[in-house]
Structure 1
């Protein structure tokens, strides 16, 4: 089957070098902010409480522990350790609705590549890596662990689920998995302070998803990578348009009125989706599957 509708493991492995060109995920200190060869993964204050010691001349008074000072009747300060780690959790949708394309590659293939690029970036940075890959009737969950141990299994699952959606199309699962059910499974295993990357088309985003995403956002950074085909922006004003879905085909004539209606409808849906996610504090990256994926990550992440 064509690489446009089916990803191979060799392709995902080949993205390792490209991943080095991706900027740091949201919440990380930008390049150049600290001395050193690579960017530190500090978050917020970037510090964890370590111990107490007596105040010494020149110490920052903001570090004084007033409870200990009152108890000991002499100034004591709090000492901190640098927080050197930022867990990365990647959730990848490989359901039937992702098996769509008008050119270059399907949304499912593009999503697989985006996930691999982000996973490789995590590997290069030494961040703990976890993820959840799901199709219509099954999913695979990986806890946040060492990227060297997690990455091979994560890539294998991305390939496996990507092949399943291509092999099983257009068969419909009797009880398809939902985005909200996957978020429920994932949220308990995502450590506080994580960066969460959600990759899919978000076609079943609902109020329950909103609540779970808001809870995730209170615990860390969340980015949504919305996979889309830009056909609505490329429609001619007239002519014949053919469509195929679940083995059924249809032809219809385009008119300027119909073209404008399709464009406005899809543009409004994507805009509403973006506003909804943004209100929850989620950073939204709309990814056009036919365009250069690495460039879009560099521009928007």
Structure 2
């Protein structure tokens, strides 16, 4: 990440500070419906058959008289004893699912060379995912974290709570943005922030949920992979890696200082060997992150700050479709 100086006022002028109006406007880019679970999982409580719904997945509908072929495990013995005739319970598939939106607002996210900051794009995609889930009748929860702050909002399908989710995400983003670009300020990186968020998710998420994770995954490690694997056993996970073109290539000649918030390196953009190493380093990091999600049997997508906000499909099943529209979006 190239170091340079910019004031909070300049940040506002270049539209990298978020507004609630922007996040509300994302509903117009959220025309997709949140899908029901895609992967099959082995049910442990009701026999050993495979169900396309993770977790409970079914809710009681009615009781009717037993018919040949009905599962004897669903017999309602109380009604049977009362009426003298065998009755069975009928269940129907749940048509909504909890959606958890995890947004990483570490300091490494507050950088961008095309259109917007990585943090801004992550928040816009988070808002778009919220509106898609809300419009589909799902309950939506939020987990937002910086190096020092962690914010949780419980699942809800009430519009008032949803607007509160967007408001608090915006405030956390803008507060950190102002703090970073104060004079003499320095970047803060918590290497355990993502791990702690995923660990917290394990205590909060119930089976059958859809989890979106928007991050640059600078701090993704083997412990994070363990938490992802555990969560993916009963939930669908969609990891969206937010990147910037300068992380893989530098178009202008010159000497640059790059940092991940912990270490610094100098790079000469005129030196082909330096530029090749720079590109390969980024590609290796993307491949490693993608491999973590693949091993957890979860969806993964790479997004760039130069992409349009609509380039990302919110359906994990369509994550392999490569973006080709480089319009500015919002």
Partner in structure 2 of residue 279 of structure 1: 295
Instruction: Say which of 153, 156, 171 aligns to 2:167.
Output: 156
Per the TM alignment, residue 80 of structure 1 is displaced from its structure 2 partner at its CA by: 0.8
Structure 1 vs Structure 2 CA RMSD: 3.3
8 Å Cα contact 1:228/1:288 also seen in 2: yes
Distance 2:258 2:209 in 1: 40
Q: Is 1:293 aligned to residue 304 of structure 2?
A: no
Distance 1:174 1:295 in 2: 29
Distance 1:289 1:174 in 2: 21
Distance 2:148 2:288 in 1: 28
8 Å Cα contact 1:26/1:221 also seen in 2: no
Given the two structures, how large is their TM-score scaled by the length of structure 1?
Answer: 0.81
| Cα shift readout 1:29-83 (whole Å, capped 9, x = no counterpart) | 9xxxxxxxxxxxx946953355665423xx5x2x321595999999764421331
Rate the CA distance shift 1:79–1:23 in 2: closer, same or farther, 3 A.
Answer: closer
Partner in structure 1 of residue 325 of structure 2: none
Partner in structure 2 of residue 262 of structure 1: 278
Partner in structure 2 of residue 33 of structure 1: none
Partner in structure 1 of residue 196 of structure 2: 181
Q: Is 1:200 aligned to residue 215 of structure 2?
A: yes
Question: Residues 200-239 of structure 1: matches in 2 within 5 Å?
Answer: 200-236=215-251, 239=253
Partner in structure 1 of residue 112 of structure 2: 101
Structure 1 unpaired stretches of 5+: 30-41
Aligned length: 282
Per the TM alignment, residue 176 of structure 1 is displaced from its structure 2 partner at its CA by: 6.9
8 Å Cα contact 1:64/1:75 also seen in 2: no
Rate the CA distance shift 1:177–1:268 in 2: closer, same or farther, 3 A.
Answer: closer
Q: Is 1:190 aligned to residue 213 of structure 2?
A: no
Distance 2:224 2:192 in 1: 13
Rate the CA distance shift 1:157–1:3 in 2: closer, same or farther, 3 A.
Answer: farther
8 Å Cα contact 1:136/1:173 also seen in 2: yes
| Cα shift readout 1:177-231 (whole Å, capped 9, x = no counterpart) | 6111112223322222110111111111122212221221112111111111123
Instruction: Say which of 93, 118, 124 aligns to 1:113.
Output: 124
8 Å Cα contact 1:135/1:177 also seen in 2: no
Instruction: Say which of 37, 41, 45 aligns to 1:27.
Output: 37
Distance 1:104 1:283 in 2: 26
Instruction: Say which of 72, 75, 78 aligns to 1:65.
Output: 72
Instruction: Say which of 82, 85, 89 aligns to 2:93.
Output: 82
